[in-house]
């Protein structure tokens, strides 16, 4: 009797313990699955009681929820016994190989250091759950403007490690400082210094000029010249229309961000542009801002009419295809489009052409937005010193050449001289007089229900279909700007 | 499940003299794992959603600010949320009505009539249900393509060379394009469910009805429909839940909520706010609203469709 009772209790206890272990995510295999279902409060405690050891080799992409307990701070001497640096990077068109190579090279320069790399096209899907349970990568490469808004969320939450001291660090193995090596402008803009206090939080990585892409072959064939002013653009629009070609298309409305910034800079000048980025009062009523809206409204009327139907993440390549098929002349894009459309069929004699935006007035400024990715450290990073050292290393000639092999170009002194072929065409755009624009709308505390994309960019689709007028759009911008201004970070 | 093995293991020891008290002790001990799992994975997260809706929180930091019902107040003033709400309600109503009617008719035809290739039709109707949403979206993106799409090419026969219809590009039309996709996707599933319960209706009822002179349509409304009513009630709840869920995945894969937010539904808007606008708490407030709305709707439907059960 007694024995039986004890047995039963024991068995029940074993089962309860078993389920608790399953749910707890303490072991590395079921860890991530468990994480998906519970909340961070229940999990935080149990995770840290996991029995993982720090030496566990990392998997390819999924690195599970290992607790890598590292106690020693990094020393600059190049030895980091048993330390594990967790690097998370989004996989873009440049591929994953260069990151593997970089991590190996950095490991080689530090004794006993393991760099645990998480690289994935959907990086957020992997790291978000871990971060919710308090496990942050040390270094993250993810640009602002991504759909997930991962970087923006960290910025808005003041959840970043300050990087200003990295600028003063000497590039490992070289004599210059990081700050001196980065091209001017790239660490003095509202993206890298999101709080407007002169402190850098995001470090610029791979960059690429954005502008208008077109088929150079078609222009040569028809004897057209690439317009230098918007007036010439409209003239060309009429000519093209007579031939059954639309003047303009765009992949998705999101691609208007770079376009809008460049156009605003052209039309408004830098001071008003900066004011607009901070949602300045009355700035949208100025004649300069109205000019921007007028140009976009007119451009909408010249846009290939089926564009909005494909302007989503699923079908945007069909819009890009319009350029390849000579059905539209220009589209706003970045140089990644060439790789993206490499396999696509194209009209005979097709040749990529790339230009900055036409000037608003004859002889006026022509601007090209410089898109760049950012690398940063979340405030929850464990190995902050080592992480900073890693970031400094990324600006070394050694690292830059590894990246450049995959076509990823960093804003580093002397880098453009080393380029050849197509790349030279794109990166030399600023040598031919185009102004580089790098800022973005100022960071605010989260404003529920309002995003830059839904306020400023998405309505372009409705302008093209005629479901909204310019005034509807501008009124929405004005109303939302007021709320955003009130939420500006000080 | 771990909980299932317990009773059989215990029974080996024989339970003749086991007292009631101990029995209930066992039951508690044995069901405990399942109950604990249920609490951890169902109850706690649900309560947490309700709790989080009262906070302003970006999603990653430890810092959460309690804001009371502020998120709900903002929600009530947000036209974009109402647009998403409208779209969801529209989908629930139209998709449910159309799918329900078609599934019921097809089920009745396939189970009562003698048609060649019955099994073939059954499979064909069910296939969309096996396909993943991404595949379905790709299929319908191709069908809706303004230039080379099946639909516009076909309509061109009647409309001539007018401007193509932008099935996924016009804010006014896009939600109906989603409706068509969802109906196509759901019909097979419900049809099979109705067929299963129609197969249980005794043949003798139909025989006597036809002897009495009842036609096929009369038989359907007087015999089939009342006898599968319980099943229909259950599926109505399914309709609500699955429309809310499926509309999210389909919208996400097919239109990304566009153009200009015109195809946003409950959950895509919630996702947008919670995960891309750093407003996790606000997103959870949307979640709570959806939760209450769907519960209430299911409750109302259940009450309205209540009939005395007919047995055969």
Among the listed residues A390, A372, A374, the one whose alpha carbon sits nearest the alpha carbon of residue A86: A390
CB of A429 within 8 A of CB of A211?
yes
- Rounded to whole angstroms, the Cα distance separating A262 from A298 reads 17
Burial class (CB in 10 A: 0-12, 13-18, 19+), B19: exposed
Q: CB–CB of B169 and A318 under 8 A?
A: no
Answer whether B244's CB lies under 8 Å from B309's CB. Answer: no
Q: Domains in chain B and their CATH numbers?
A: 2-52 (no CATH), 71-304 (1.10.3720.10)
A16 CB within 8 Å of a chain B CB = yes
pLDDT (mean) for A315-325: 93
Asked if B144 and B168 touch (Cβ cutoff 8 Å), the reply is yes
CA B92 from centroid of its chain's CA atoms: 9
A-chain CB neighbours of B171 within 8 Å are 461-462, 465, 467
- What pLDDT score was predicted for residue A149? 81
Angle at A365 between CA A197 and CA A372, to 5 degrees: 45
- For the cut 70, the answer to whether the pLDDT of residue A33 exceeds it is no
Residue with tokens 């950012």: A374
**pLDDT higher than threshold 90 for residue A290:** yes
**Residue A212, helix vs strand vs coil:** strand
What is the pTM (predicted TM-score) of this model?
A: 0.79
Number of Cβ within 10 Å of residue A71's Cβ equals 8
Share of chain A above pLDDT 90, in %: 53
| Chain B CB contacts of A450 below 8 Å | 277
Cβ of B279 within 8 Å of Cβ of A454? The answer is no
pLDDT for the residue numbered A229 = 94
Q: What is the DSSP letter of A377?
A: -
Q: Which residue in B247, B270, B265, B112 sits closest to B180, CA to CA?
A: B247
Distance between CA atoms of residues A467 and B218, nearest Å: 48
Q: Using the 8-state DSSP alphabet, how is residue A302 labeled?
A: T
- Contact, A23 vs A31, CB < 8 A? no
CA distances A319 to A187, A191, A324, A360, Å, are 34, 29, 9, 26
Q: Between the ranges A5-9, A108-112, B90-94, B236-240, where is the mean pLDDT highest?
A: B90-94
Euclidean distance between CA atoms A453 and A313, whole angstroms: 14
User: Which of residues 61 through 100 in chain A touch B, CB cutoff 8 A?
Assistant: none
Q: In this structure, how many other beta carbons lie within 10 angstroms of the beta carbon of residue B225?
A: 14
Residue A61 has pLDDT above 80, yes or no: no
A358's CB contacts (< 8 A; 6+ apart) are A227, A228, A229, A230, A232, A233, A366
Whether A457 has a pLDDT exceeding 70, the answer reads: yes
Best interface-test mutation with A: which of B1, B33, B51, B60 has the largest number of A CBs within 10 A? B60
CA distances from B41 to A185, A400, B45 (A): 50, 47, 6
Token code pair at residue A268: 């408004």
3-state class (DSSP) for residue A397:
helix
- DSSP, collapsed to helix, strand or coil, labels residue B98 as helix
ipTM of the complex: 0.82
- Cβ of residue A4 closer than 8 Å to a chain B Cβ: yes
Residue A174 to chain B, least CA–CA distance (Å):
36
Nearest chain B residue to A5 by CA distance is: B22
pLDDT tens digits along A187-227: 888 899 988 888 999 999 998 889 999 999 999 999 999 99
Shortest Cα distance from A454 to chain B (angstroms)? Answer: 7
CA distance B137 to B133: 6
Share of chain A above pLDDT 70, in %: 83
Question: Pairing state of beta strands A435-437 and A367-376?
Answer: parallel
CA–CA dist A160, A140 (Å, integer): 11
The distance of B19 to chain A (nearest Cα, Å) reads 11
Q: What chain B residue is nearest to A44 in terms of C-alpha separation?
A: B62
Distance of alpha carbon B264 from alpha carbon B287, whole angstroms = 14
Under 8 Å CB-to-CB from A107, ≥6 apart: which residues?
A113, A114, A115
Domains in chain A, CATH or no CATH each: 58-207+372-418 (3.40.190.10), 209-371+423-486 (3.40.190.10)
Out of B163, B256, B276, name the one closest to residue A312 (CB): B256
pLDDT per residue of chain B (312 residues) written in tens, 0 to 9: 444 445 555 555 555 566 788 888 889 999 999 999 999 999 999 999 999 999 998 877 777 889 999 999 999 999 999 999 999 999 999 999 999 999 999 999 998 888 888 889 888 999 998 999 999 999 999 999 998 889 999 998 888 777 889 999 999 999 999 999 999 999 999 999 999 999 989 999 999 999 999 888 999 999 999 999 999 999 999 999 999 999 999 999 999 888 999 999 999 999 989 888 888 999 999 999 999 999 999 999 989 988 887 766
Distances (CA, A) of A55 to A26, A46, A85: 16, 20, 12
Could you tell me if A338 and A422 are in contact, meaning their C-beta atoms sit under 8 angstroms apart? Answer: yes
Residues in chain B closer than 8 A to A11 (CB atoms): 6, 9-10, 29
Residues 6 or more apart whose Cβ sits within 8 Å of residue B72:
B53, B285, B288, B289
- Can you say how many angstroms the Cα of residue B224 is from the centroid of all Cα atoms in its chain? 24
What's the gap in Å between the CA of A157 and the closest CA on chain B? 6
Predicted local confidence at residue B29, as pLDDT: 92
Are the C-beta atoms of residues A98 and A399 closer than 8 Å to each other? Answer: no
Asked if A421 and A207 touch (Cβ cutoff 8 Å), the reply is no
């Amino acid at each position: 009797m007694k024995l039986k009772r004890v047995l039963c209790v024991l068995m029940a206890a074993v089962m309860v313990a078993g389920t608790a272990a399953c749910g707890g995510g303490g072991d590395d295999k079921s860890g991530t699955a468990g994480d998906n279902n519970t909340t961070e409060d229940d999990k935080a405690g149990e995770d840290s009681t996991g029995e993982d050891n720090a030496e566990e080799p990392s998997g390819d992409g999924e690195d599970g929820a290992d607790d890598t307990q590292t106690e020693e701070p990094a020393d600059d001497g190049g030895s980091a016994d048993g330390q594990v640096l967790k690097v998370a990077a989004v996989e873009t068109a440049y591929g994953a190989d260069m990151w593997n190579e970089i991590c190996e090279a950095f490991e080689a320069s530090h004794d006993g250091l393991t760099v645990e790399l998480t690289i994935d096209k959907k990086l957020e899907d992997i790291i978000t759950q871990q971060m919710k349970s308090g496990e942050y990568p040390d270094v993250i490469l993810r640009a602002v403007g991504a759909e997930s808004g991962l970087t923006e969320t960290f910025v808005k939450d003041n959840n970043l490690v300050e990087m200003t001291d990295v600028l003063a660090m000497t590039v490992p193995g070289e004599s210059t400082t990081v700050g001196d090596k980065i091209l001017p402008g790239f660490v003095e803009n509202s993206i890298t210094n999101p709080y407007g206090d002169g402190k850098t939080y995001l470090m610029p990585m791979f960059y690429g000029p954005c502008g208008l892409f077109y088929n150079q072959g078609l222009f040569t064939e028809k004897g057209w010249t690439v317009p230098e002013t918007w007036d010439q653009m409209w003239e060309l629009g009429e000519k093209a229309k007579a031939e059954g070609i639309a003047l303009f298309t765009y992949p998705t409305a999101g691609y208007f961000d770079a376009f809008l910034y460049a156009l605003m800079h052209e039309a408004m000048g830098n001071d008003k542009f900066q004011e607009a980025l901070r949602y300045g009062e009355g700035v949208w009523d100025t004649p300069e801002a109205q000019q921007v809206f007028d140009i976009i409204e007119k451009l909408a009327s010249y846009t290939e009419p089926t564009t909005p139907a494909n302007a989503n993440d699923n079908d945007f390549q069909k819009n890009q295809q319009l350029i390849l098929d000579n059905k539209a002349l220009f589209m706003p894009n970045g140089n990644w489009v060439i790789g993206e459309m490499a396999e696509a069929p194209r009209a005979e004699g097709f040749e990529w052409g790339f230009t900055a935006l036409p000037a608003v007035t004859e002889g006026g400024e022509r601007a090209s937005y410089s898109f760049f990715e950012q690398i940063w450290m979340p405030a929850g990073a464990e190995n902050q010193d080592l992480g900073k050292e890693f970031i400094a290393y990324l600006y070394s000639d050694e690292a830059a050449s590894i990246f450049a092999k995959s076509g990823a170009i960093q804003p580093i002194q002397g880098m453009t001289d080393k380029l050849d072929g197509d790349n030279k065409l794109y990166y030399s755009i600023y040598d031919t007089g185009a102004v580089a624009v790098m800022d973005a709308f100022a960071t605010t505390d989260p404003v529920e229900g309002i995003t830059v994309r839904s306020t400023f960019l998405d309505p372009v689709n409705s302008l093209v279909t005629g479901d909204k007028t310019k005034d509807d759009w501008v009124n929405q911008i004005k109303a939302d700007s007021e709320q955003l201004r009130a939420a500006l970070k000080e | 499940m771990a909980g299932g093995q317990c009773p059989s293991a215990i029974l080996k020891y024989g339970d003749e003299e086991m007292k009631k008290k101990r029995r209930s002790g066992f039951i508690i001990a044995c069901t405990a794992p399942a109950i604990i799992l249920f609490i951890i994975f169902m109850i706690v997260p649900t309560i947490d959603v309700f709790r989080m809706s009262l906070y302003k929180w970006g999603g990653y930091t430890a810092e959460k600010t309690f804001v009371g019902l502020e998120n709900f107040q903002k929600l009530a003033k947000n036209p974009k949320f109402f647009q998403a709400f409208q779209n969801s309600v529209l989908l629930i109503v139209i998709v449910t009505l159309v799918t329900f009617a078609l599934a019921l008719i097809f089920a009745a035809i396939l189970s009562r009539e003698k048609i060649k290739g019955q099994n073939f039709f059954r499979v064909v109707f069910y296939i969309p249900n096996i396909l993943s949403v991404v595949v379905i979206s790709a299929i319908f993106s191709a069908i809706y393509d303004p230039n080379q799409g099946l639909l516009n090419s076909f309509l061109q026969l009647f409309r001539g060379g007018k401007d193509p219809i932008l099935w996924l590009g016009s804010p006014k039309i896009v939600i109906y394009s989603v409706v068509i996709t969802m109906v196509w996707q759901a019909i097979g599933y419900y049809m099979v469910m109705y067929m299963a319960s129609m197969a249980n209706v005794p043949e003798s009822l139909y025989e006597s009805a036809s002897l009495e002179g009842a036609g096929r349509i009369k038989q359907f409304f007087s015999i089939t429909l009342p006898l599968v009513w319980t099943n229909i009630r259950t599926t109505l709840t399914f309709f609500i839940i699955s429309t809310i869920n499926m509309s999210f995945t389909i919208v996400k894969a097919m239109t990304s909520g566009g153009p200009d937010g015109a195809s946003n539904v409950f959950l895509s808007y919630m996702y947008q706010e919670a995960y891309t606008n750093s407003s996790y708490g606000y997103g959870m407030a949307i979640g709570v609203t959806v939760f209450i709305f769907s519960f209430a709707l299911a409750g109302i439907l259940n009450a309205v469709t209540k009939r005395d059960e007919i047995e055969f």
